[in-house]
Amino acid sequence: MNNIFKNKTILILGATGSIGQEVCKQLSHYECKIIAVGSNLKSINKTKNIIKDGIAEMVMLKCNLDVKKDVLKLINLLKTKYKINILINCAGIFINSPIDKMSSKIIETSFNVNIQSPFMIIREAIKNMKKNKWGRVVNLGSSSSYSGINDSSVYCSTKHAILGFTKALHNELKSSNIRCYCISPSSTKGNMGKSTKNQDYNTFLEPQDVAKFIIFTISFDSNLMNEEVFLNRMFIK
């Protein structure tokens, strides 16, 4: 496999979640620069400790995607300091609530974190990719993009939006040699997975396997590509 990550600057949103941490950990063994973005300092420090033995240059940034000033600050850093080659968006929140009991704030926060803020950050990051005629964008979707889940209408809506955004982005940017992927895993172990109802947690995907697939997808540098990937799990009795 080509070392496509060598000397690249990689922005990882949601770097403190179960999948984001695994992506950071696995990429830390490449000669690259990782800009790892998380929502709170405690989680950022945990991610930092996990990847401390890697060879990659690490920059840890705090950015709450539900806070506009945080998002604008990150976008300004992309304009002035960090020129991104690869963007991996693992950010997301899962809300489990019947629609008639869902507050306007929950809806607003879900759309901010899961689609609006990543949209704005990607919009800035691709400017450098277009200039260099090379780039990779991975959005983490969900199996919820394909099938509705009870009491999760806002989450399903945002993940369907990220799928549509990625497919449109792929068509728009492929002439600039920028590949855009939406990788949609089914239920995955971690804090988000633990809040999923009526499923056997033991059958859930492992975060390290999802991260491995994300890295493989970016590394697969040929004319063959699929902008939409659905990762299902095997049920072992």
**Residue 234, in any domain of the structure:** no
Note the pLDDT tens digit of each residue in 22-72.
999 999 999 999 999 999 888 888 888 888 888 999 999 999 999 999 999
Active-site position among 142, 143, 145, 153? 142
Domain that residue 93 falls in: 9-221
Residue 237 lies in a domain: no
Query: Could you say which of 30, 153, 155, 181 is catalytic?
Result: 155
Active site residue 197: no
Bridge partners, residue 182, by sequence: 139, 228
Number of domains in the chain: 1
Instruction: Verify whether residue 30 is a known catalytic residue.
Output: no
- Residue 184 belongs to a domain: yes
Give which of 128, 93, 124 is closest to 111, Cα–Cα. 93
User: Is the pLDDT higher at 202 or at 42?
Assistant: 42
**Active-site residue, selected from the candidate residues 8, 33, 159, 189:** 159
- The arithmetic mean of pLDDT across residues 125-129, rounded, is 98
Number of residues in the chain: 237
Alpha helices (H) along the chain: 18-27, 41-50, 68-80, 104-111, 117-132, 153-173, 191-194, 207-219
Q: What's residue 148's pLDDT?
A: 77
Q: Is 181 a catalytic residue?
A: no
Place of tokens 């792929």: 170
Q: Is the pLDDT of residue 101 over 80?
A: yes
| CATH number (domain holding residue 77) | 3.40.50.720
Let me know if residue 112 belongs to a domain.
yes
Per-residue pLDDT reduced to its tens digit, 164-187: 999 999 999 999 999 999 998 988
Q: What is the mean pLDDT of the chain?
A: 90
Q: Classify residue 2: in a domain, yes or no.
A: no
